[in-house]
Chains A and B, each alone.
Chain A
Amino acid sequence: MSKFTKKKSNELPPVSTASLPDIVFMLLFFFMVVTVMRDTELKVEQNLPKANQIEKLKKDRSVFIFAGKPSIQYKKNFGDEGRIQIGDKFTDVSNIGLALTEARGKLNPELQSKVVVALKVDDDTNTGLVTDIKEKLRELNMVKIIYITTSGDPLEQ
Chain B
Amino acid sequence: MARRSAPEVNAGSMADIAFLLLIFFLVTTTLEKDNGIARQLPPIDKSEIEPPKIKEKNLFIVLVNKNDQLLVNDSPMELEDLRENAIEFLDNGGALSNSIEYCDYCKGKRLITSSDNPEKAVISVQNDRLTSYKMYISVQNELVAAYNFLRNRESQRLYGWDFTDVKKEIDAGTYLGKQGDAQDKLKEIQKLFPLKLSEAQPKKN
* A binding-site residues for B, Cβ under 8 Å: 6, 9-13, 15-16, 18-19, 22-23, 25-26, 29-30, 33-34, 36, 49-57, 59, 116, 118-128, 130-131, 134, 137-139, 141, 143-151, 154-155, 157
Contact = CB atoms under 8 A, between A and B. Distances in A.
Secondary structure type dominating chain A contacts = mixed
Contact of A149 (B15, B31, B36): B36
Nearest to B9: A16
B35 A123 contact: no
Interface residues of B, number: 60
B15 A19 contact: yes
Given A49-B134, A49-B138, A127 B25 contact: no
Q: Which 7 pairs, one residue from A and one from B, show the smallest C-beta to C-beta distance?
A: A128-B129, A19-B14, A123-B134, A18-B11, A22-B18, A154-B138, A49-B137
A123 B9 contact: no
Nearest to B147: A53
B160 interface: no
B42 A138 contact: yes
Given A9-B3, A128-B129, A154-B137, A55 B37 contact: yes
B8 A13 contact: yes
Contact of A30 (B3, B22, B80, B148): B22
Nearest to A121: B133
B137 A123 contact: yes
